[in-house]
């Protein structure tokens, strides 16, 4: 299979969200045209996107909502279990830990870690917050696949490097820095402050025009 372009992949979760809503509204089928109106994109783009994966529709009919939802879910890896721990148990780490929908979607958060003695031992949904010094043994023993890094950038790189050597293959990185490893280590960055700056760019643009 040809490598799917980044921009196509980045649209899949949004399709998935809209299809989930349609499903909940008991809508059985939808055409690319209807979906395009709903999502505010072109019908062409929708069909092109899906045809990167061989196409999920039927001429004259459109797309079956449930089927399409499931197939996109599979593409997104949501039919497999993903073991994840959270390193950095501040507000952001706890926010992610408490995010409701993870369990339904195959994610299993098994522990939170922090280096702050005031936090260690504190009760959460996923047991007590653990001492970060134990995270390395923990990820090996429990075969953790994903680590969410919700800690200050100063600590992020060093900890991530050690975790790589302990077999972690993917990072969901909220630290304010770019991490990069060899090609087989996956890093997905979420830079919240950069998103806020995009917003203020547009405010400034409006004010100056």
Residues that bind a copy of itself (CB under 8 A): 1, 4, 9-10, 12-14, 16-17, 40, 74-78, 80, 82, 90-92, 94-96, 98-99, 101-102, 105-107, 145-146, 169-170, 172, 176, 180, 184, 186, 188, 190-207, 209
Nearer to DNA (CB atom), residue 35 or residue 119: 35
Does position 44 bind DNA by CB under 7 A? Answer: yes
Among 20, 23, 31, 166, the residue binding DNA under the rule CB under 7 A is: 31
Please state, in angstroms and rounded to a whole number, the distance separating the CA atoms of residues 168 and 166: 6
Task: Tell me phi and psi for residue 159, to 5 degrees.
Answer: -65, -45
CB of 88 to DNA, least distance (A): 31
Hey, is 9 helix, strand or coil?
helix
CB of 27 to a copy of itself, least distance (A): 17
Please state, in angstroms and rounded to a whole number, the distance separating the CA atoms of residues 17 and 25: 13
Task: Tell me phi and psi for residue 173, to 5 degrees.
Answer: -100, 115
Please state, in angstroms and rounded to a whole number, the distance separating the CA atoms of residues 47 and 50: 5
Q: Which does 15 bind (CB under 5 to 8 A by kind): a copy of itself, DNA, none?
A: none
Q: Across 94-206, where does the E strand assignment appear?
A: 107-114, 123-124, 127-128, 130-131, 146-149, 170-173, 186-189
Nearer to DNA (CB atom), residue 59 or residue 200: 59
Does position 88 bind DNA by CB under 7 A? Answer: no
CB of 106 to DNA, least distance (A): 26
Among 17, 27, 51, 79, the residue binding DNA under the rule CB under 7 A is: 51
Please state, in angstroms and rounded to a whole number, the distance separating the CA atoms of residues 12 and 159: 31
Residues contacting residue 143 through CB under 8 Å, at least 6 positions apart: 83, 167
CB of 43 to DNA, least distance (A): 6
CB of 110 to DNA, least distance (A): 36
Q: How far apart are the first and last CA of the chain?
A: 47
Write out the residues near DNA by the rule CB under 7 A: 5-8, 31-33, 41-45, 47-48, 50-51, 54-63
């Amino acid at each position: 299979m040809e490598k799917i372009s980044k921009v196509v992949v980045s649209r899949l979760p949004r399709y998935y969200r809209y299809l989930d809503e349609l499903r909940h509204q008991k809508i059985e089928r939808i055409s690319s045209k209807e979906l395009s109106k709903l999502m505010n994109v072109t019908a062409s783009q929708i069909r092109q996107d899906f045809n990167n994966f061989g196409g999920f529709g039927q001429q004259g009919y459109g797309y079956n909502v449930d089927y399409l939802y499931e197939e996109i879910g599979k593409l997104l890896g949501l039919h497999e279990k993903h073991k994840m721990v959270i390193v950095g148990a501040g507000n952001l780490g706890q926010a992610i830990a408490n995010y409701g929908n993870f369990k339904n979607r195959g994610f299993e958060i098994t522990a939170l870690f922090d280096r702050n003695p005031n936090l260690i031992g504190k009760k959460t949904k996923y047991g007590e917050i653990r001492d970060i010094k134990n995270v390395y043994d923990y990820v090996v023993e429990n075969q953790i696949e994903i680590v969410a890094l919700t800690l200050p950038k100063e600590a992020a790189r060093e900890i991530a490097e050690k975790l790589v050597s302990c077999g972690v293959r993917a990072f969901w990185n909220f630290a304010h820095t770019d991490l990069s490893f060899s090609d087989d280590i996956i890093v997905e960055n979420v830079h919240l402050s950069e998103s806020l700056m995009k917003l203020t760019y547009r405010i400034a643009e409006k004010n100056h025009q």
